[in-house]
Amino acid sequence: MADTFEPKAHVAHMEKMLGLAIEEDWRPVVEMHIAAIEKAAEAVLDFPLEDHAEAAPVFVP
């Protein structure tokens, strides 16, 4: 995923999709932060889990 993730393109797409207003001088920092999150996510996605590993959040009906 690291090779294919493009922070600039991702931010531009999501900005339009969500209707965010990102000023030009904020943009490089936002791109830096989404790149950092992607790097963290990459480590998480790389880890093999068994299908029975359930998500942690608790919902009590």
Partner 1 sequence: MSHETKELNSLTAAQTAAAVNSGDMKALEAAYASLQAIESLNPRVNAFTDVLGERALLEARAVDDAVAEGRSLPLAGVPYAVKNLYDVEGLTTRAGAKISRENPPATTDATLVRKLKEAGAILVGATHMGEYAYDFTGENAHDGICRNPHDTGYMTGGSSSGSAAATAAGMVPLAMGSDTNGSIRVPASFCGLFGLKPTYGRLSRAGTYPFVGSLDHLGPLTRSAEDLALIFDVLQGHDPADPAQTDHPEIETHARLAEDIGPLRIAVAGGYFREKALPDALNAVDLVARALGASLEIDIPEAARARAAAYVITAAEGSTLHLNRILERPRDFDPETRDRFLAGTMVPAIWVQKAQRFRSWFRDLFRKIFENVDVLLAPATPFPALASGTKTFTIGGETMPARPNIGLFTQPISFIGLPAVTVPIWLEGAKLPIGVQVIAPAWREDLALRVAHHLEQTGVCRAPVAKIAA
Compute how many other C-beta atoms are within 10 angstroms of the C-beta atom of residue 11. Answer: 19
61 binds partner 1 (CB under 8 A): no
9 binds partner 1 (CB under 8 A): no
14 binds partner 1 (CB under 8 A): yes
Angle between helices 27-45 and 7-18 (to 10 degrees): 110
Give the separation between CA 24 and CA 11, rounded to whole angstroms.
12
Each residue 28-57 as x (binds partner 1 by CB under 8 A) or -, in order, gives -xxxxxx-xxxxxx-xxx-x-x---xxxxx
Compute how many other C-beta atoms are within 10 angstroms of the C-beta atom of residue 12. Answer: 14
Residues interacting with partner 1, by CB under 8 A? 10-11, 14, 18-23, 26, 29-34, 36-41, 43-45, 47, 49, 53-58, 60
